[in-house]
Chains A and B, each alone.
Chain A
């Protein structure tokens, strides 16, 4: 696991949302944190290289940005890694997890529109030879992964 110091944590705590929208956002962030722009940029690069940050940028609303769907397949455990690799390779897949259930592989498929989404799922289903459970979102009650990081609990874990 990556060791994060106080500045890393302050960066994450302050800027999971509301990145300043201006010509030099990292300079504005640096000023607020009492650091230099170069330090902030090097920290962000380090966090990205360490895999702590997926990226610095926007999170698009899936429902407005295009079509997406949660899908699952039930495969024998012995085949799980191989099937997962083919799912991850598939164009449009952005999340792919193993979960403890008869449906043991869960992934999100994205596309520009519904037609392309269906075509991608049909093609993947044919390739895998397993039926794909298709679970489009009907209504979102809450979607926000920008929750505060529980640093205290992480230290105890």
Chain B
């Protein structure tokens, strides 16, 4: 294998390891470097580059909100005229209670093209936040549906590089 090819393979191994998180040891990058056939400084430079390029959106503690009691989670889906979806998407994204907001395609039997997520500690609190958003943004006439989650079967980071199913991140909560 060429030098470039082996370097790429090593970076690919690093990506796969990183999807599972850092080892909780004093020098986690050194531990990863040994597993991937890179030096510690090469690993640090690589992660810095991925962060600068935007491949890594954030680096830190990834919290499971349900385990903390932030278990009221509503996916609110809206049927917005296509020429207004971008502008409304931006406005909803700016609402402090909205944690995710994105446009998706309509499908037969599925008329909704704008999705946003509201996380909270109690259902009533999330419903109140949604009511405030509807009033503040003047959305009374926009058809929408509120899909509360009531059970998480599985929740973990994306696994783009690994082939095996990630059993370790399955969660079982009472309904």
Contact = CB atoms under 8 A, between A and B. Distances in A.
Contacts, number: 275
A144 interface: yes
Interface string A74-101: 0000000000110111111111111111
B142 to A, nearest CB: 16
A138 B26 CA distance: 41
Nearest to A26: B26
Interface in B37-70: 40, 44, 47-48, 50-51, 53-65, 67-70
B158 A141 contact: no
A126 interface: no
Interface in B125-175: 125, 145, 147-161, 163-166, 169-171, 175
B34 to A, nearest CB: 14
A112 B161 contact: yes
Nearest to A1: B69
A150 B99 CA distance: 13
Given A45-B24, A138-B105, A88 B158 contact: no
Interface of B: 15, 18-22, 24-30, 40, 44, 47-48, 50-51, 53-65, 67-70, 73, 75, 86, 89-90, 92-94, 98-105, 107, 110, 115, 119-122, 125, 145, 147-161, 163-166, 169-171, 175
